[in-house]
Structure formats: structure tokens, C-alpha cells
Structure 1
Amino acid sequence: MDFKESLDRVLKVLHTGGIILYPTDTVWGLGCNATNEQAVKRLMDIKGRPNGKGLVVLVDLPQRIPSYVDDVPDMAWELIDLADKPLTIVFDKGKNLSSLVYGKGGSVAIRVSQSKFCQQLISKFRKPIVSTSANFCGKPYPKSFNDISIELIDKVDLVVPIEFDTDSTGKPSSIISVGKGNTVKILRD
């Protein structure tokens, strides 16, 4: 199966509210349509993740962020421009996403993916996708595809071919919170 056929299969699963297991710019992740409440609920059930913890949302381009965030502080744009490794930014207030992706007080964590596969997928899907590490809640994140539990693999609707894993660092992203007045807090380096 070639790249276009594989991408079309992934898009079909996402459009129908399915859950994918896919390579990102950090670690292998579980993903779904970040605007579909039922899909996000199912993903959280599969992972065993409690409500209210929030999830990372991937976009393909920085210009998409204002569609999902009430206010993008200038500092966030600076951080995105300067980032030399995957960076997730937590914004004070999200919008236009499943309520289940929001953290405390309606905050939202967004990363502009550096993965070529993810960028193409999100661009063609035309919506953001959830990205949470491919592990059960409380278990170690997978450094590679081989570290992913068979039980988890059996629960998803589609596993993206391993050949598309060209950009994964094998480490989670840095997480920085950017608030009003350009306040910055490093949550994970």
C-alpha cells in the first residue's frame, strides 16, 4: 500500500470518529478528531485517562492556533518561532474543540507538529487531532512502536504503518504554559 492509500485509510477512520495509533514528532500516540466529543471520550476510555486532565491537540501550522484558542499571547508566537524541538503550549482558554480535551479552567494544550506525516494528515483532515502517548494511563510512554502494549493496539481502529515513523524523537515534548501578560511557566522541559 502506498502513502496516499494509507493516508486515505487514516482519514476515513478519523472522519468516522475512529481512533488511530500513529507516529508523531515525539512518541507514538493515540489520536482522533479533536472536535468530536464521542471520539475523544472513546480514546480516553481506551487509555483509562480520567476526565479533566486535558489532552494535547496537534495542528499542522501555527496559523491554525487562533481557531482553537481565545487569545494567543505574543510570547506564544515567539516560543513557536524559537522552538528547536517539539513544544506543546498550554493556553488559558480553548474553543471549538471537544470539551474533553480541555484542562483546568478550560485551558488547552496545543502543539504544532513537526512530523511530516502528521502535518500532511492534519492538513488533509482539515481539523486538529488529539495526541496522547500510546500507553495505558499510569504506564510508561512508548519510546518506539515495539514498546506499545498489544492490548492497546487491539483496541484502536487503525494502526498507521510503521514506515511513516520518520520523525519521532522517542521523548515527550516540552510543555510551556503561556498566560495573560505573557507570563510563562515551564511545565515539562
Structure 2
Amino acid sequence: MEVLTELELRMRFDEIVEKIKEGVIFIHPTDTIYGIGCNALLEKSVEKIRELKERPEAPLSVWVPSKKWIEKNCIEHEWLDNLPGPYTLIMPLLNKKSVAPSVVKGKETLGVRLPDHWFSKVVAKLEFPIVTTSANKTGEPFMTKLENLDDDIETEVSFMIYEGEKKARPSKLVNVEKEEVQER
């Protein structure tokens, strides 16, 4: 696994964007903790993340390129006014083809993120969502620094954008239909 800083990513921006488009698995920073991601349109890549996380059935969330993407593909809600921010909005999905089927696993909703973080510029450049889920096996502690990355995950990851230890908690889950907020 190649470890890159923000500066190194910026210097190799086009190359990294192409790798993400092609479907590599990678670790990225967020405004909360580290996530593991891939192109959310590529079924094979999404399934690989499920395998690595040992999470066969639960839906995954996506980091979207823009609010416009949400407005086009999900039922709009006033909670959008809180983005960008440390939230995962569980929203009714209008366009089932906007993500690979294994992202939602038959659900009618999609977890969407638009973090207040510089990496949002990378996702915006892609113009499609990436899977974003905590970079750990299901049930294990969240990855907050390089030293606690699971060995099995590390061997399957192409690259990681690292910006030091994260002190935050995971994003809050907001079910916009039920108007429920869940801390994780």
C-alpha cells in the first residue's frame, strides 16, 4: 500500500483520479475518521470492500460529488442545508442506477455524505460517488491512525491518503424520513 500526503495527492491528482475511476480500493481521510472507498458504480470493487470489512448484507454509504448529485438521485430534504458536514444522511433513493446494486443491497434508501473536507474536491472531480465506510472490519475499532489499520485490509488497498491521527468520532447517522439522529 502506498501512503500519500495531501500534497503528494495534489501533485499526482490526475493519476489518482484515474485509479479511482478504474476501481482501486483506497483509504481516505474525512472530517471525522478514515474511510475505505472505491468507485461506487463498480460492483466488483464494492463487493471487495464488503469482503474486506466482513460486511455481507448491511448497506454502505457514499461520498457524493455535490449537493446537485443528491438532488438528482435522492428525494430532497431540508437536512441538505446541513451539508457539507459530519453527517451521513439516510435518504430515499430515486435513481437506483446511480450506484452499484451492492451499495444499497435492495434497500430503497442510500446513505450519503458530503464532508467538510478538502478530499471533497477529489470526489467532485470524479463526478460520481465513492463508497465511504470506516476503514476497519465490522465490529472492530475505527481506524484513527496508520498503526491501527487491519493487516488484511492493508494488503488489499492500493493507496492511502494519510493526514495523521484523527481524534473525531464517526459521522452522525440521520434518517431524514424518520427524523432520527444516531451517534456512533
Native 8 Å contact 2:90 2:174 kept in 1: yes
- Note the alpha carbon deviations across 1:20-72, whole angstroms, 9 max, x for none: 11111211111001121111111111221112x11111124322212331x11
2:79 aligned with 1:76, yes or no?
yes
Name the counterpart of 1:148.
149
Q: What's the % identity of the aligned pairs? A: 22
Structure 2, unmatched stretches of 5+, are: 1-6
1:97 paired to 2:95: no
- Correspondence 1:52-71 to 2 at 5 A: 53-69=58-74, 71=75
* Number of the residue aligned with 1:176: 174
Computed over aligned residues only, the root mean square deviation of the Cα atoms, in angstroms, reads 2.3
Task: Write the letter of the residue equivalent to 1:184.
Answer: E
TM-score (norm 2): 0.84
In the alignment, is the contact (CA less than 8 A) between 2:59 and 2:107 conserved in 1?
no
Q: Is the 8 A contact 2:40 2:130 kept in 1?
A: yes
Which residue identity lines up with residue 80 of structure 2 in the other structure?
Answer: W
Superposed displacement of residue 6, structure 1: 3.2
With over 3 angstroms needed to count, the CA separation of the structure-2 counterparts of 1:4 and 1:174, relative to structure 1, is same
How far apart, CA to CA, are the structure 2 residues paired with 1:18 and 1:113? 21
Which residue number corresponds to residue 3 of structure 2? none
Superposition map of 1:35-54 within 5 A: 35-51=41-57, 53-54=58-59
TM-score between both structures, scaled by the size of structure 1: 0.82
Question: Does structure 1 retain, via aligned residues, the 8 Å contact 2:65–2:125?
Answer: no
5+ long unaligned stretches in structure 1: none
Aligned to 2:4: none
What is the count of residue pairs matched by the alignment? 176
Which residue in the other structure is 2:115 paired with? 113
- Check conservation: 1:24, 1:167, Cα contact below 8 A: no
**Relative to 1, partners in 2 of residues 1:4 and 1:186: Cα closer, same or farther, differing over 3 Å?**
closer
Alpha-carbon spacing, 1:56–1:25, altered in 2? closer, same or farther (3 Å):
same
SS of corresponding position for 1:175: strand
